[in-house]
Amino acid sequence: MERKFQHRQPPSSEITPQSVYLSRREWLKMAGLVSTASVLAACTPNGTLPSSTTTSAAPNGSLVDEFGNPANTYKEITHYNNYYEFSTDKQAVARLTENFQASPWAIEVGGMVHKPKTYDYNELLKFEQVERIYRLRCVEAWSMVIPWTGFELNKLLRQVEPLSSAKYVKFTALLDPKKFPGQRNRLYPWPYTEGLRLDEAMHPLTLIALGVYGQPLPNQNGAPLRLVVPWKYGFKSIKAIIKIELTDIQPTTLWSTIAPDEYGFYANVNPQVDHPRWSQRTERRIGELGRRETLMFNGYADEVAPLYAGMDLRANY
């Protein structure tokens, strides 16, 4: 199911900051008026992103998810971040990432594939760009609604032609303690790694995000590219990816190496399975008072529950 940005009547208060809205409008204008190819040629990680979807922004750019929940503001999305390569303090990440250089950037795609390939960032802009408003539910029991721009990971994986024996996909983030002060902390087995089953990675909801609110991905959100798997806890959505490998063994991941009883490989949002130290039944939506009930698979059960048919989701947390 295609989840494009949805729009509602503008509320009295603007959700999108004016500066973002203006550049977003410019971008939409550009995407509508010129061919995708020429837009792509002009794109850099510091520029604007192309889109092949037909997005019509409400006059103030306000956006809602499919339940009618408003997207979090750009400010909220960019000032409350988990990015341990910089800091464990969510409110400090934005400042610490200010000078991070996300360009040039390349991503190596290989392992059990017929056609391994290293993609330069600009080549990734050639995949069909989509806009999706997804909820991100963090294992720490907070959540946000985020308008992403990016492409379906399955498009990239098909291009490299996985071997029929490949069963999993491993993701590795950049290792560079000069750029990432947090990597000097030896408590963590750097680099940050994550993994998906191949069918999860091929699911149309799984995105490689290149932007937020139509702008190139901010440094604190994982510039220049990160994974987004909306039905899983946020830690699966690895930032600053440099390598994607197809494999036939379940990949080890940073979090499941440190605390396997707290961070399972599947990490599907499941309000019935508590984190060992707190309940997962409710969540705090950033910007709201009070708490919301957490939904099975973060509200994406219709789309993804069949992937886990017959599995014990308490054992496979």
Binding ligand MTE by CB under 6 A: which of 21, 84, 119, 168?
A: 84
User: What does the alpha-carbon distance between residue 168 and residue 253 come to, in Å, rounded to a whole number?
Assistant: 12
The token pair that represents 282 in the structure block: 């409710």
Per CB under 6 A, the segment of 57-65, 98-106, 230-238, 269-277 that binds ligand MTE is 230-238
Please give the torsion angle defined by the CA atoms of residues 250, 251, 254 and 259, in that order, rounded to the nearest 10 degrees: 20
Hey, which residues does 111 pair with through a beta bridge? 246
Binding ligand MTE by CB under 6 A: which of 73, 172, 237, 280?
A: 237
User: What does the alpha-carbon distance between residue 135 and residue 71 come to, in Å, rounded to a whole number?
Assistant: 9
Residue nearer to ligand MTE on the CB measure, 51 or 221: 221
Please report which helix (H) or strand (E) contains residue 28, including its range.
helix 18-33
221 binds ligand MTE (CB under 6 A): yes
The counts of H helices and E strands in the chain are 9, 12
Please give the torsion angle defined by the CA atoms of residues 230, 263, 192 and 180, in that order, rounded to the nearest 10 degrees: 90
Task: Compute CA 2 distance to the chain's CA centroid, rounded to the nearest angstrom.
Answer: 16
Minimum distance of ligand MTE from residue 185's CB (angstroms):
11
Count residues binding ligand MTE (CB under 6 A).
16
Q: In the range 102-141, which residues lie near ligand MTE by CB under 6 A?
A: 136, 138
Residue nearer to ligand MTE on the CB measure, 166 or 172: 172
Vertex 148 angle, CA 180 and 293, to 5°: 95
Residue nearer to ligand MTE on the CB measure, 125 or 138: 138
Residue nearer to ligand MTE on the CB measure, 124 or 136: 136
Binding ligand MTE by CB under 6 A: which of 21, 27, 105, 235?
A: 235
Residue nearest to ligand MTE (CB): 234
283 binds ligand MTE (CB under 6 A): no
Binding ligand MTE by CB under 6 A: which of 20, 39, 145, 238?
A: 238
83 binds ligand MTE (CB under 6 A): yes
Please give the torsion angle defined by the CA atoms of residues 275, 265, 236 and 120, in that order, rounded to the nearest 10 degrees: 170
Contact residues: ligand MTE, CB under 6 A: 81-85, 136, 138, 173, 192, 221, 234-235, 237-240
